């Protein structure tokens, strides 16, 4: 690690106006909303030291510097015979063998005289006097002499010390979420502990009198099961954060306020679904407006539009739409990068790629559209049969989105469209 890291510091809270839009802004374009989130958010999680073996999924709080080179010494990349290339030339080469051999973990312990060769195995440190290795399949030997065809290229079949990472070089940057390959790299570089951020704790609350929290409960005709909470909790866990289940609250201001208080005490961020608009029973918006520095963003996006952002007792709250399709889309497009910033991992771009369309559509100007889509066996993007935001089955059917621009456009089969897989948002799917 570079420098010392204090682990008992609490990161600064977000500013009360971090979600405020400029005066006069009505409909917020998607890119403007994302830019505003990126500018207003920062890491809110504390730093701790962890053994590398226990740091999977954690976000680095500081760059990691290699404490040892990889490889630490020049070594052989193959099983074969090593020698000084300068002692060889054109045609058949015959070199006397020195006694013993060099193996991984078993260095020769002596220099190889100029014009001699040594038996060497993969991973063995090159003995003094050896800079080149010939593959054993290209050699003949009687145990006393080795023969091979020249000329031989210098340093062939060898690895230089530090050719992967040199001691003192930055191995991994601040903000990286550590994966299994990162743990291997850090261990190879002699790094035993890393300064990482505590996992972001994300609470989820569903609201609405019409919702039943348990699909095992009998439902009356006017009631529906709460699909958002298990969906959002699963997204949070899949993103490597710690989910906190605040359960379901009816449309009662006191109950919702108590749940928000519990979320602020237990989590770093709160996601709510439902009650984020301006209707009579939208208690979430009313509470946040009265007590939580509410900023209601009407985002020019389909599906979606209402997104309530606020601070409740200093904890950021993202009020997602109640419709599961809109809640899922807004969680991926807006909450995912925001949570990444709050976790210390920084702003993560969402890669997509152009594919031919397998559909036709005429789109009006004004809103960014995210169509539930998947690739067919010819690599074309097909879209779900209905754009209705009540069709939850389309989320399960799809493996990503076709993202259509804010401007008007006409799409014919074969035209290029932007396909963004769920995996680009860090979401796996059953397929």
Q: Which among 39, 58, 57 has a CA at the least distance from the CA of 48?
A: 58
Q: Does residue 74 surpass a pLDDT of 50?
A: yes
Q: Is 374 strand, coil or helix?
A: strand
* Dist. CA 351–CA 361, nearest whole Å: 23
The model's confidence at residue 251, banded by pLDDT at 50, 70 and 90, is confident
SS3 annotation, 179-211: CHHHHHHHHHCCCCEEEEECCCEEEEEEECCCE
The alpha carbons of the chain give a radius of gyration, in whole angstroms, of 30
pLDDT attached to residue 136:
96
Handedness of CA 27, 33, 37, 39 (dihedral sign): negative
Beta bridge partners of 224: 211
pLDDT attached to residue 210:
87
Which positions ≥6 away from 41 have C-beta within 8 Å?
Answer: 14, 18, 316, 338, 341, 342
Contact 118, 112 (CB under 8 A): yes
| Share above pLDDT 70 across residues of the chain, in percent, rounded to a whole number | 93
In the chain, CATH 3.40.980.10 sits at 27-46+198-343
Of 200-214, 243-257, 282-296, 302-316, which range is least confident? 282-296
Instruction: List phi, psi (to 5°) of 326.
Output: -70, -40
Mean pLDDT over 334-349 rounds to 95
Mean pLDDT over 22-43 rounds to 86
Q: Does residue 430 surpass a pLDDT of 60?
A: no
pLDDT attached to residue 304:
82
Mean pLDDT over 231-256 rounds to 94
Give the pLDDT confidence of 156-189 residue by residue, as tens digits: 999 999 999 999 999 999 999 999 999 999 999 9
Q: Which among 345, 357, 172, 338 has a CA at the least distance from the CA of 270?
A: 338
320 token code pair: 């997602």
- The DSSP output letter for 58 is P
* Dist. CA 337–CA 239, nearest whole Å: 11
> Beta-carbon neighbour count of residue 235 at 10 Å?
24
Mean pLDDT over 124-130 rounds to 97
pLDDT attached to residue 276:
58
* Dist. CA 268–CA 314, nearest whole Å: 9
Of 70-79, 151-160, 251-260, 292-301, which range is least confident? 292-301
Homologous superfamily in CATH for domain 27-46+198-343: MoaB/Mog-like domain (3.40.980.10)
CATH topology of domain 75-159: Molybdopterin biosynthesis moeA protein; domain 3 (2.170.190)
Of 14-28, 70-84, 152-166, 374-388, which range is least confident? 14-28
- The DSSP output letter for 425 is G
Q: What per-residue string of b and e applies to 40-72 under the rule 16 or more CB within 10 Å gives b?
A: bbebbbbbbeeebeebeebbbbbbbbbeebbbe
pLDDT attached to residue 9:
60
pLDDT attached to residue 28:
87
DSSP string, 32-44: HHHHHHHHH----
pLDDT attached to residue 5:
57
CATH topology of domain 353-425: Beta-clip (2.40.340)
Of 8-12, 42-46, 95-99, 328-332, which range is least confident? 8-12
pLDDT attached to residue 352:
96
Supply the mean pLDDT for the chain: 91
Q: Which among 216, 429, 255, 232 has a CA at the least distance from the CA of 335?
A: 232
Higher pLDDT, 158 or 210: 158
* Dist. CA 125–CA 424, nearest whole Å: 42
In the chain, CATH 2.170.190.11 sits at 75-159
pLDDT attached to residue 10:
64
The model's confidence at residue 379, banded by pLDDT at 50, 70 and 90, is very high
The model's confidence at residue 13, banded by pLDDT at 50, 70 and 90, is confident
The model's confidence at residue 2, banded by pLDDT at 50, 70 and 90, is very low
Q: What per-residue string of b and e applies to 179-210 under the rule 16 or more CB within 10 Å gives b?
A: eeebbebbebbebebbbbbbebbbbbbbbbeb
Q: Does residue 366 surpass a pLDDT of 70?
A: yes
In the chain, CATH 2.40.340.10 sits at 353-425
Crossing angle between the packed helical segments 283-291 and 253-266, to the nearest 10 degrees? 60
């Amino acid at each position: 690690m570079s420098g010392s890291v204090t682990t008992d510091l609490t990161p600064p809270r977000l500013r009360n106006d971090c979600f405020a839009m400029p005066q006069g802004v009505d409909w917020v374009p998607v890119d403007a909303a994302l830019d505003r989130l990126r500018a207003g958010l920062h890491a809110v999680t504390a730093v701790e030291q962890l053994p590398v073996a226990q740091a999977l999924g954690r976000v680095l709080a500081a760059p990691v510097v290699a404490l040892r080179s990889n490889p630490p010494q020049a070594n052989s990349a193959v099983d074969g015979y090593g020698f000084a290339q300068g002692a060889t030339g054109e045609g058949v080469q015959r070199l006397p063998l020195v006694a013993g051999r060099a193996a991984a973990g078993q260095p020769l312990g002596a220099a190889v005289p100029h014009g001699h060769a040594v038996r060497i195995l993969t991973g063995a440190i090159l003995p003094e006097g050896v800079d080149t290795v010939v593959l054993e399949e290209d050699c003949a030997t009687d145990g006393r002499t080795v023969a091979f065809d020249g000329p031989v290229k210098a340093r062939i079949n060898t690895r230089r010390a530090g050719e992967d990472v040199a001691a003192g070089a930055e191995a991994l940057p601040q903000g990286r979420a550590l994966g299994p390959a990162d743990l291997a790299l850090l261990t190879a570089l002699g790094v035993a502990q890393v300064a990482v951020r505590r996992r972001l704790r994300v609470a989820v609350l569903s609201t609405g009198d019409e919702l039943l929290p348990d699909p095992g409960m009998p439902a009356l005709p006017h009631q529906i099961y709460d699909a958002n909470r298990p969906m959002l909790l699963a997204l949070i866990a899949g993103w490597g954060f710690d989910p906190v289940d605040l359960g379901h609250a009816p449309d009662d201001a006191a109950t919702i306020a108590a749940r928000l208080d519990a979320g602020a005490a237990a989590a770093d961020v709160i996601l709510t679904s439902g009650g984020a608009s301006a209707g009579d029973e939208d208690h979430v918006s009313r509470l946040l407006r009265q007590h939580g520095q509410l900023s209601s963003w009407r985002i020019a996006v389909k599906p979606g539009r209402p997104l309530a952002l606020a601070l409740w007792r200093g904890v950021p709250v993202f009020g997602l739409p109640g419709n599961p399709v809109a809640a899922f889309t807004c969680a991926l497009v807006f909450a995912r990068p925001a949570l990444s910033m709050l976790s210390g991992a920084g702003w993560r771009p969402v890669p997509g790629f152009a594919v031919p369309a397998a559909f036709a559509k005429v789109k009006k100007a004004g809103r960014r559209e995210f169509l539930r889509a998947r690739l067919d066996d010819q690599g074309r993007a097909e879209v779900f049969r209905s754009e209705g935001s009540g069709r939850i089955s389309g989320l399960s059917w799809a493996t990503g989105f076709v993202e259509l621009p804010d401007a008007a456009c006409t799409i014919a089969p074969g035209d290029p469209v932007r396909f963004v897989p769920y995996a680009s948002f860090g979401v796996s799917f059953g397929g």
